[in-house]
């Protein structure tokens, strides 16, 4: 993004949308993966 901003003197809308999308979805994805990892490693309790 920096290269094209310097070359064209302004960032394009497409580049900005990609950055915003990644900025918003990365923390949500990390939270979901951490939650799934915790569920996989939980010990199962038998109730028999």
Asked if residue 22 belongs to a domain, the reply is yes
Q: Distance between CA atoms of 24 and 4, rounded to whole angstroms?
A: 22
Residue 6 sits in which domain range?
Answer: 2-40
Is 46 among the domain residues? Answer: no
> How many domains is the chain partitioned into structurally?
1
Q: Answer yes or no: is 34 within a domain.
A: yes
Instruction: Please state the pTM of the whole predicted model.
Output: 0.53
pLDDT category, 9, cuts 50, 70, 90?
A: confident
Residue 45 lies in a domain: no
The residue among 5 and 29 whose pLDDT is bigger is 29
Looking at the domain assignment, is residue 48 inside a domain? no
CB 4 within 8 A of CB 16: no
Would 20 be classed as within a structural domain? yes
Q: pLDDT band at 8, cuts 50/70/90? A: confident
């Amino acid at each position: 993004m920096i290269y094209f901003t310097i070359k064209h003197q302004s960032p394009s809308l497409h580049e900005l949308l990609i950055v915003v999308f990644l900025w918003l979805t990365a923390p949500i994805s990390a939270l979901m993966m951490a939650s799934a990892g915790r569920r996989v490693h939980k010990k199962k309790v038998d109730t028999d």
